[in-house]
Amino acid sequence: MSRFAAPIAEQIWDMKYRLKEADGTPVDRSVEETWRRIARALAETEADPEEWEPRFYAALEDFRFLPAGRIVAGAGTARSVTLFNCFVMGTIPDTMAGIFDMLKEAALTMQQGGGIGYDFSTIRPRGAAVTGVAADASGPLSFMDVWDAMCRTIMSAGSRRGAMMATMRCDHPDIEEFIGAKADSARLRMFNLSVLVSDAFMEAVKADGSWDLVFDGRVYHTLPARELWNRIMRATYDYAEPGVIFIDRINETNNLSYCETIAATNPCGEQPLPPYGACLLGSVNLARLVTDPFTPEARIDDAALEDLVRMAVRMMDNVVDASRFPLEAQAREAAAKRRIGLGVTGLADALLMLGLRYGSEAAAAQTEDWLRRIARASYLASAELAKEKGAFPLFDAEAYLATPMMQAMDDEVRDAVRAHGIRNALLTSIAPTGTISLYAGNVSSGIEPVFAYAYTRKVLQNDGSRTEEEVVDYAVQMWRETQGDAPFPEYFVNAQTLPPEDHVRMQAAAQRWIDSSISKTINCPEDISFEAFKDVYLQAYETGCKGCTTYRPNEVTGSVLSVSEGDTAGQGDTPVLVKEAEDGAEVVYMSEPLDRPQALEGNTYKLKWPDSEHAIYLTINDIVVGGRRRPFEVFINSKNMEHFAWTVALTRMISAVFRRGGDVSFVVEELKAVFDPRGGAWVKGKYIPSILAAIGGVIEQHLVATGFLESEGMGLKSDPQARVVGLDAPRGKACPSCGQFEMRMVEGCMTCASCGHSKCG
């Protein structure tokens, strides 16, 4: 009998985690063999592997302990990949040579499958003098563009593109440009952005004081703190970025505050790390630990939870020794501190099984209690490991015991650490678990609420056809199995129905016993007022959160999936994901390409690429549809015969896309994203990564000039006169992996409900 609770779980395992030969032939014949492979690999570091392999296997069995995807996919494969999920790179020097040394290190790290974080606050602001070359600095944003172009070309292990986090201090002179960077939808698409917000800044905001923007001791600009805060909030309200990281709180509560300073996080924010810091992740599946669900006796057994945590800590500690590292500096940092990030998934499902409404005071109290028990068991297990194998090398008993987390622990934990030291400097974190949760039977992700009780997923078959299957939340399936067709109780809630303050309450409750941080998205309704939206961030700060990430659906961020009341499998009031047409479609879609009129109006543009002998000429002709001018065809010509084949191909492909209609602004975005490995060029003070990117820029200028696009870097905006022709509903953004229009925001990352693809891995 299959161990998988749902077809999607087996499909995810086969696609992402099952070991296969290079030709696709499976090596893991079953998920039991995958568990055995992992258990064997992690037991090899033990003095007696035969003792620990079966115990590790038992922890993995039935998806109770879920190591992060890189461990599941890579452990025991002999492949040159890292088992660590996240890295923060070294401090970027404020020199050209140092900056590009860091770029090289980033490429090597992403090549092995690691997501990375960088603090760009160390680079001098735009316009600052560069000594010795009689020039002004281009600023950190220009170098972030270079990082972004590099990231597009590096395919991470497991066929996932690299994910990056960029942070900048709230007092950096270029912070306003950083805040507004994502207004250009084609810029910095490989980055998540977060502002490092200090306590002093928050106090200035509350007091309506002034705020200095400073670099290297020089004040470049002074402005009202509230004005800068409102800019952060407005950008996040409109574009879902940047996020906010309360950096002083992170450093003050860090178990290693006596020997490190943190200025950046990994791409999803749950791991604040020092320079060259690395962390591996794993999750206890709370949904699988509940006994007697949906009854008054429903509970999680303390002894079973503590035993599973002890085994998980030991397994994750062994990963430190079993993993490869892209850089020697990362290996040294990991060995010196041995930090791990054990968290949970299936929390919302577990709460449902206990009859608790996610976001309620009772649910927050239960969440805090579970995580306190996990933290306590983790620290005791790590102290026992220190007794057996030694404490982490930088352990300082007096300094460590004085940290806020150790002060919050009971006497038994403190006495154990005082007597034996501790094996792992930090132990707990709550990571994004979108794909791994699907693999575990579609349990609720991390500490997020249930996104939707059920949705329909299109599955690509071997013959190219697609079939539909229902994907049901794990707790909902348990309800069906135990309660039949009985209607859901009032405590059944999902992400679509929760007010933002309930999200914040749950994040704050969890944070109290998490020594690192938490990846969580606070869903906000589209019609939330700007003032109420700002209050969400203030509530997060006042209740002890280490950061805040929100998502408000709108025409920029997208509202791809929505929940509608519909019937599924006899459950008449189950919300089901459906695609809905909004009032007045935004774009015109044509089921068949239009015939070309005899005459069209257009423009011709000359593009001169540096170091190229001949210019390229672009002619863009337009057609009027419904009283609106839109692009119809493109001709690209050059005297350089080396360009002949690709210019003809590009002419035909772009023209074919234009003639199909719809929001064709993605053509601009894709062209502008093309990176030439031989190097781009600086054109009019801006780095252009390739000649194709330059062509995309010319097309974009034409579309702006003709009114098809609102402005540079913006997609097609709402047109109340537009209509849908030949399709039932407007489409949102397609998944870059499977092409399905099933993208949704999960734990701060757009994630595909159809195949599990996520930019953040």
For 407-430, the pLDDT digits (tens) are 999 999 999 999 999 999 999 999
Q: Are 517 and 250 in contact (CB under 8 A)?
A: yes
Q: What is the mean pLDDT of residues 752-757?
A: 64
Of 387 and 673, the one with more pLDDT: 387
Confidence band for 747, pLDDT divided at 50, 70 and 90: low
Q: Look up the pTM and report it.
A: 0.78
Judged against a pLDDT cut of 50, whether residue 723 lies above it is answered with no
For residue 388, what pLDDT is reported? Answer: 97
How is residue 41 written in tokens? 């690999």
Sort 7 into a burial class: Cβ within 10 Å, 0-12 / 13-18 / 19+. middle
CA distance 519 to 283: 13
Q: At what angle do helices 500-511 and 361-389 cross, to 10 degrees?
A: 30
DSSP 3-state percent helix, strand, coil across the chain (nearest 5): 40, 20, 40
- The pLDDT value given to residue 580: 33
187-207 pLDDT tens trace: 888 899 999 999 999 999 999
Q: Once rounded to an integer, what is the mean pLDDT over residues 39-66?
A: 97
At residue 517, what is the residue type?
A: S
pLDDT > 70? residue 714: no
Question: pLDDT tens digits for 613-658?
Answer: 778 899 999 888 766 788 989 999 888 777 788 888 888 888 888 8
Q: What pLDDT is recorded for position 424?
A: 98
pLDDT reported for residue 722? 32
Least-confidence region, from 65-79, 111-125, 171-185: 111-125
Q: Is the pLDDT of residue 660 over 80?
A: no
- Asked if the model's pLDDT at residue 590 lies above 60, the reply is no
CA angle 88, 90, 96 (to 5 degrees): 130
* Mean local confidence (pLDDT), 273-288: 95
In the predicted model, is pLDDT for residue 323 greater than 70? yes
pLDDT of amino acid 761: 54
* Residue 516 pLDDT: 96
Does residue 702 sit in helix, strand or coil? helix
Specify the pLDDT at position 744: 67
The mean pLDDT value for 674-679 works out to 73
Q: How many CA atoms lie within 13 A of 666 on its CB side?
A: 11
Q: Looking at 11-25, 213-227, 660-674, which range is the least confident one?
A: 660-674
> What is the phi/psi pair of residue 598, to 5°?
-65, -35
CA 238 vs CA 28, 51, 226, 232, 707: distances in Å: 45, 55, 18, 10, 22
Of 46, 45, 42, 10, give the one whose Cα is nearest residue 29. Answer: 10
Cβ atoms 70, 311 nearer than 8 A: no
Q: What percent of the chain has pLDDT over 90?
A: 59
Closest CA to 69 of 309, 345, 326: 345
Which region among 17-26, 118-127, 683-692 has the lowest average model confidence (pLDDT)? Answer: 683-692
Residue 573 has pLDDT above 80, yes or no: no
* Tokens standing for residue 90: 């070294």
More confident residue, 260 or 108: 260
Residue 332 has pLDDT above 60, yes or no: yes
- pLDDT value at 724 more than 80: no
The values of phi and psi at residue 387, to 5°, are: -60, -35
Residue 602 above 50 pLDDT?
yes
Question: Picking from 24-33, 45-54, 59-68, 129-138, which range would have the lowest pLDDT averaged per residue?
Answer: 129-138
| Predicted local confidence at residue 563, as pLDDT | 42
| Range from 203-212, 346-355, 559-568 carrying the lowest mean pLDDT | 559-568
Q: pLDDT above 70 covers what percent of the chain?
A: 84
448-476 burial code (b ≥16 CB/10 A, e <16): bbbbbbbbbbbbeeeeeeeeeeebbbbbb
Catalytic machinery residues = 266, 268, 270
Q: Where are the domains of the chain?
A: 99-129+143-182+190-252, 601-705
User: What letter does residue 449 receive in the DSSP assignment?
Assistant: P
Where do the DSSP E strands lie in 477-580?
Answer: 522-523, 547-548, 550-551, 562-565, 575-578
What is the pLDDT confidence band of residue 155, given thresholds at 50, 70 and 90?
very low
Mean predicted lDDT score pLDDT of the chain? 86
Q: Is the pLDDT of residue 578 over 50?
A: no
| HEC secondary structure over 501-528 | HHHHHHHHHHHCCCCCCECCCEECCCCC
pLDDT of residue 737: 55
- For residue 758, the 8-state DSSP code is B
The token pair that represents 209 in the structure block: 């004081």
CA distance 589 to 731: 10
- pLDDT beyond 60 at 738: no
Residue from 285, 287, 650, 737 nearest 473 by CA: 287
pLDDT over 50 (residue 727): no
Q: Quote the pLDDT of residue 726.
A: 30
Give the pLDDT confidence score for residue 742 in this predicted structure. 64
- Residue 734 pLDDT: 56
